[in-house]
Amino acid sequence: MSLWVDFAVYVVQVLLLWVLLPRQGHSFGVPMIGDRNPEWLAAHPEVRTYFERSRGFLRIWYTWAAICVAGLLLQRLGAWQIGSAPVDPSNWQQLKDTHAVFMGLGIVGWFASAALWFRWLNRTVPLADRRSAALAPRTVRNYLSLPWRVTVETLTALHLAAWVVLGLTVTNLDPEYWKKFAFVVAMTVFFAAFAWLVPLRRQGYVDRLFGETYRRVEMRVAYVLRLSPIVAGVIAIGELLTYGGFDRAGPFDRAGHLALVLLVSGLASAFLFLRPAGPVAAPPTAPRPAAGDPDVIDPSFGSTIGGFHERRAS
């Protein structure tokens, strides 16, 4: 398989995480302010205008996406590489490591920008009085159909059973076999517990913004994540049956890594279709704040992170 396939998979993830998701997040800033305190937002129309017009946040992430793609392309062409090892454009692991570094830096930057945003939000927008929501029991069956649940549970059971059968029947078993099996079991339990806790999570901002759609998407993502130990386990079993052991640098490992990248990209794309359940009202006749009002947005905030913005109203 050509390494250009790896390159294409990595570029797809870059564009999804650092172009499409920021474009979507760009529309949620004003609804978030309105959810925290709609009266404050109505009294400060200049804040709405600022977030509607500012594009600093998007420019930062578009630039980062361009840097990532350029770095991957240079590594693939053998012109540049992260690290001190000799450049080898035919080495899939070097391309993988380059992508991993860019992803790690991007995630750190994303969390930093989110931290700055919430810091500004909590300091600037006072929390409005809230009504207590009625409590209603929620379970997995409220958000996932029976075929979804049966399919995942069946695949999980068959996967673990396959490990046990192979462990009891294969001769000259790899010494790492039962350690691998223990890791697979631990990951299976972890993701199953995560899926069980999703419907029990307390409602928050995202639930008010997107309605029940968000938890339904979250539940589907959690159940797809339950398939990740199965994917990793099948690849490990393939290595065992093909090579007699676990080859961490072979084609199975490469295929598994690309499958993981595609899985993460697919899960992230599920959130691209979320839309606010309702608009945030902002009367055009709302009074403008007096000069020197401490609640007015700090202009320097725009040069810091650009904010999370709402798309312009048509």
**How would you write the pLDDT of the chain (314 residues) with one tens digit per residue?**
688 999 999 999 999 999 999 988 888 888 888 888 899 999 999 999 998 888 888 999 999 999 999 999 999 988 887 766 667 777 888 899 999 999 999 999 999 998 999 899 999 999 887 654 545 567 888 888 899 999 999 999 999 999 999 999 988 888 889 999 999 999 999 999 999 998 888 887 788 888 888 889 999 999 999 999 998 898 888 888 887 777 666 677 788 889 889 988 988 888 888 877 755 444 444 444 444 444 444 433 333 333 333 333 33
Residue at 271: amino acid letter: F
Alpha helices in the chain, H assignment, sequence order: 3-15, 21-25, 29-36, 38-43, 45-53, 56-76, 92-124, 146-169, 177-197, 205-210, 212-225, 228-243, 251-269, 300-304
Q: Annotate 157-185 with b (16+ C-beta within 10 A) or e (fewer).
A: eebbeebeeeeeeeeeebeebeebbeebe
Residue 105 has what pLDDT?
95
Residue 1 has what pLDDT?
63
Residue 249 has what pLDDT?
61
Residue 308 has what pLDDT?
37
Residue 185 has what pLDDT?
96
Task: Sketch the domain layout of the chain as residue ranges.
Answer: 1-128+299-314, 139-247
Residue 5 Cα to chain centre, angstroms: 22
Distance CA 159, CA 149 (A): 15
265-271 long-range contacts (CB < 8 A, ≥24 apart) are 265/9, 265/12, 265/13, 265/16, 265/17, 266/224, 267/221, 267/224, 267/225, 268/16, 268/17, 268/21, 269/16, 269/20, 270/217, 270/220, 270/221, 271/21, 271/24, 271/217
Residue 298 has what pLDDT?
44
Distance CA 62, CA 24 (A): 13
Of 93, 45, 26, nearest to 250 by C-alpha is 93
Residue 85 has what pLDDT?
65
Report how far apart the first and last C-alpha atoms of the chain are (Å, whole number).
47
Residue 50, number of CB atoms within 10 A of its CB: 18
Residue 219 Cα to chain centre, angstroms: 14
